A and B are shown apart, each in its own frame.
Chain A
Amino acid sequence: MYGRRSRFLTFMLGAGLAFLYVPMIMLVIYSFNYSKIVPVWGGWSLRWYESLFKSEDVWNAVVLSLKIAVVNATFATLLGTLAGLAMVRFGKFRGRTLFGGMLVAPLVMPEVITGLSLLVLFITLKKLIGWPEDRGFTTITIAHITFSLAYVAVIIQSRLTGMGETLEEAALDLGAKPFRVLTDITLPRLAPGMVAGWLLAFTLSLDDLVIASFVTGPGANTLPILIFSRIRLGLRPDINALATIIILVVATGVAIAAFIMYRQQKQFQRDMQIAFQEEK
């Protein structure tokens, strides 16, 4: 039953993979197309990569996007972790249910509404206190932190719940004061969750088009905004080249992460086996 793969299953597997990856492969191939009109094949060429590297707009957008993503991920992880800790480890406090609800609200709020409401806020603030003067890096970063911290908080909450409190109790029992327990036991145990949260917040920020479009100002284009505005004027081969580079970077990152995880798992299994054998 399981040994032989039926033809139907093989076909469905192929169809599924094709559905996911053919578009990307097409995009990669067409990024090497000499022709200026995307669907017309004009032979292999690297000219669009060349024009991409010469384009200052693109580089500015890349740098801005990365800057926003890093600052956002860092703040979101910090705040999200604190929020998660408050939800799971502080027991009952006044307004806990309200706090929990408000914490996850950005997850279910339509992006358009989040974006619009933040824009209104920034405009009002500028009128009242004169800050933020221009919309751009600061406003986009603040907007991104507000929604990505919700994702981090959810990750941290589930990790904290899964960890249980026994280790923290053990540390308290051995004489560690609550702050020591946090720094020496909880946070190191939470580190993988925080890294996952940071990466997720980073990705969310790089991905976001809608909210950034609302809260950005003249001249501050993130990468998604730039790509989208260019595509609106028709398919462009240099955007294909840019997309290919992004795919390459992401794929490399995923491969490295998978390799490291695989090695760690192997090492862990080997250690356990040794311990098990010693017992005999």
Chain B
Amino acid sequence: MTGDPASSDTPWLDQGAEPLIKIRGVTKKFGDFTAVNNVDLDIFQGELFCLLGGSGCGKSTLLRMLSGFETTSTGTISIDGIDMSNVPPYERPTNMMFQSYALFPHMTVEKNVAFGLKQDKIPAAQVAERVDDILKLVELQDYHKRKPHQLSGGQKQRVALARALVKQPKVLLLDEPLAALDKKLREQTQFELMNIQEKVGITFIVVTHDQEEAMTLSSRIAVMDEGEFVQIGTPTEIYEFPETRFVAGFIGSANMFEGRVVEDGPDHVRVMTDLGEIYIDHGQSVREGNRVWVAIRPEKIHLSKEPPTEPGPNQAIGMVDDIGYLGNTSIYKIKLENDRIIDVTAPNQIRPKTRTHRITWEEKVYLHWDASSAVLLNK
């Protein structure tokens, strides 16, 4: 929409790019409790940025500081080059979509959406036109005169989105935008939300606790824990290269092993763990002899009934302890020789006959994984 030739799909990699939102050393304290602890963040024009974390991690507080409902204890937030410290919520170039939608119950859909425009003293004809346009965008053109209680959950959600978008803010803040919808509707709405964001070209900042939602929606994700960013990156970076045990465990599931570095080459690392020797083909700077953690995603381990042709690293032997059938995939709980149980998932490409899997309970299995599969964790 902006048509700026300099803008790319990955503005955060562009050294010269000026971020739309600059968060610098922001801390928020409630009495003795530190909700947000000295965070820095740049968000660029056109991004769909997710703040992801469990409850009480500080993500909502950060969002409320962006919208102006909370003041920062220390640090500054600037939007489009303007320091927001002394700007009240009603003068900020942000609009928010609330988790509870916060539709005004005594106003019709039309009046709800027009409310923001009327505050700017925009002529009535123009207000009506913009309300029509935005209701068309969210496919509610026939609902002008309804009151909020006459709408279904999904319709309310779309009114809330329309009301927040109609003022064309520089930044749209969305607090758990899909949390109140049921699973099917949520999945469908995720894609609608992405389409709408692409059409209007407004920067979205989404707060969510749902890692799947964050993975689907975002250009980048900031994983938060205890008021701090644990890792910031694209969904792929976060999933494939988690930096810490928290991130590896929070986004998807991961088998994690503690081990000792036995070799640190320029393009590879060898670690001795419970699982045997793990060879990692991407170099990370560690020191030989150090204790480290290694994570391997369950779907990146292959199961086989046949022993490998030649011994080497990235292999293990175990016994099937339990199988969880999920339909599209199955989770195998594999008990290793040292009694440690690890998870392996495999797609059910062939229909298991009479619910018996190709590999079944109490069977001896051989595990192996690719040299690129394992990752070293920092903490």
A and B from one assembly?
Answer: yes
List residues of A whose CB falls within 8 A of some B CB: 166-167, 169-178, 180, 184-185, 188-189, 268, 271-272, 274-276, 278-279
Measured between alpha carbons, how far is A275 from B106 in the docked complex, in Å?
17
Q: List B residues at the A interface (Cβ < 8 Å).
A: 67-69, 88-92, 94-96, 98, 100, 102, 104-106, 115-116, 119-120, 147, 149-155, 163, 167
A188–B150 CB distance below 8 A: no
Among B69, B95, B106, contact of A174 (Cβ-Cβ < 8 Å): B95
Known interface pairs A166-B100, A173-B67, A189-B106; 16 further A-B residue pairs with C-beta atoms within 8 A, sorted by A's residue number: A170-B96, A170-B102, A170-B104, A171-B115, A173-B69, A173-B94, A173-B96, A174-B163, A175-B91, A176-B115, A180-B119, A189-B105, A271-B147, A275-B152, A275-B155, A279-B153
CA A268 – CA B147 in complex, angstroms? 10
Q: How far is the CB of A77 from chain B (nearest CB, A)?
A: 19
Q: What is the interface of chain A mostly: helix, strand, loop, or mixed?
A: helix
A176 CA / B91 CA spacing, docked (Å): 9
Q: Which of A175, A272, A276 contacts B119 (CB 8 A)?
A: A175
Query: What's the minimum C-beta distance from A181 to chain B, rounded to whole angstroms?
Result: 8
Q: Are B150 and A176 in contact (CB under 8 A)?
A: no
Closest to B155 in A: A275
Could you tell me the distance between the alpha carbons of A185 and B111 in the complex, rounded to whole angstroms? 12
Q: Which residue of B lies closest to A166 (CB)?
A: B102
Q: 5 closest A-B pairs (Cβ-Cβ)?
A: A174-B116, A279-B152, A175-B119, A170-B102, A271-B150
- Distance in angstroms between the alpha carbons of A188 and B90 in the assembled complex: 20
15 contacts between A and B (CB under 8 A): A166-B98, A166-B102, A167-B102, A167-B104, A167-B105, A169-B89, A169-B98, A170-B98, A172-B89, A172-B90, A173-B95, A175-B90, A175-B120, A180-B119, A184-B115
B89 and A173 within 8 A (CB): yes
Do the beta carbons of A174 and B150 come within 8 Å of each other?
no
In the complex where A166-B98, A176-B119, A274-B150 touch, is A171 in contact with B155 (Cβ < 8 A)? no
CA distance A185 to B154 in the complex (A): 24
What residues on A are CB-neighbors of B102 within 8 Å?
166-167, 169-170
- Contact of A174 with B119 in the complex, beta carbons under 8 Å: yes
Min CB distance B166 to A, Å, is 9
Residues of B within 8 A of A172 (CB): 68-69, 88-90
Query: Please, which residues of chain A bring their CB within 8 A of the CB of B67?
Result: 173
Chain B residues lying within 8 Å of A178, measured Cβ to Cβ, are: 90
Are B104 and A177 in touch, CB under 8 angstroms?
no
Could you say which residues of chain B place their CB within 8 Å of the CB of A166?
Answer: 98, 100, 102
Assess whether A276 is in contact with B152, with CB atoms less than 8 Å apart: yes
Query: Do the beta carbons of A272 and B150 come within 8 Å of each other?
Result: yes
Q: Give the Cβ gap from B314 to chain A, nearest Cβ, in Å.
A: 50
Q: A166-B102, A268-B149 are in contact. Are A279 and B154 (CB under 8 A)?
A: yes
- Residue numbers in B under 8 Å from A180 (CB-CB): 119
Give the CA-CA distance A274 to B151 in the complex, in Å: 8
Report the bound CA distance from A170 to B95 in whole Å. Answer: 9
List, in ascending order, chain A residues with CB within 8 A of B153's CB.
279
Residues of A near B152 (CB, < 8 A) are 275-276, 278-279
Instruction: Name which residue of chain A comes closest to B147, CB basis.
Output: A271
Chain A: CB-nearest residue to B173: A173
Q: How far is the CB of B150 from chain A (nearest CB, A)?
A: 4
B280, chain A: closest CB distance, angstroms: 48
Known contacts A175-B116, A180-B119, A272-B150; A188 and B100 CB within 8 A of each other: no
- Assembly CA distance A176 to B114 (angstroms): 12
Using CB atoms, name the residue of chain B closest to A168.
B102
Q: B328 → chain A, closest Cβ, in Å?
A: 27
**Bound CA span A176–B153, Å:** 26
Output the least CB separation between A268 and chain B (Å).
6
User: Which residues on B sit within 8 Å (CB–CB) of A175?
Assistant: 90-91, 116, 119-120, 167
Which residues of A have CB within 8 Å of B115?
171, 174, 176, 184
For B102, give the chain A residue with the smallest CB separation: A170
Question: A178 to B68, alpha carbons, bound, how many Å?
Answer: 14
What A residues does B106 contact at CB under 8 A?
Answer: 188-189
Q: How far does the Cβ of A165 sit from chain B's closest Cβ, in whole Å?
A: 9
The CA-CA distance from A100 to B152 in the complex, in Å, is: 41
Determine which residue in A169, A171, A268, A275 has the highest number of CB atoms from chain B within 10 A of its CB, and name it.
A275
Q: Which residue of B lies closest to A165 (CB)?
A: B69
Chain A residues within 8 Å of B155, by CB: 275, 279
Min distance, Cβ B179 to any Cβ of chain A, angstroms:
14
A175 to B151, CA, bound (A): 25
**A contact residues around B149 at 8 Å (CB):** 268, 271-272, 275
CA distance A166 to B60 in the complex (A): 14
Residues of chain B with a CB closer than 8 A to A188's CB: 106
Q: How far is the CB of B127 from chain A (nearest CB, A)?
A: 13
Determine how close the nearest CB of chain A comes to the CB of B183; give it in whole angstroms. 14
Q: Is the CB of A176 within 8 A of B90?
A: yes
Q: Which residues of B contact A184 (CB under 8 A)?
A: 115
Write out the residue numbers on chain B whose beta carbons fall within 8 Å of the beta carbon of A272. 149-150
State in angstroms the CA–CA spacing of A185 and B88 once bound together.
18
**A169/B69 in contact, CB under 8 A:** yes
Nearest B-chain residue to A178, judged by Cβ: B90
Q: How far is the CB of A211 from chain B (nearest CB, A)?
A: 37
- Residues in A whose Cβ lies below 8 Å from that of B104: 167, 170-171, 185
Question: Which A residues lie within 8 Å of B90 (CB)?
Answer: 172-178
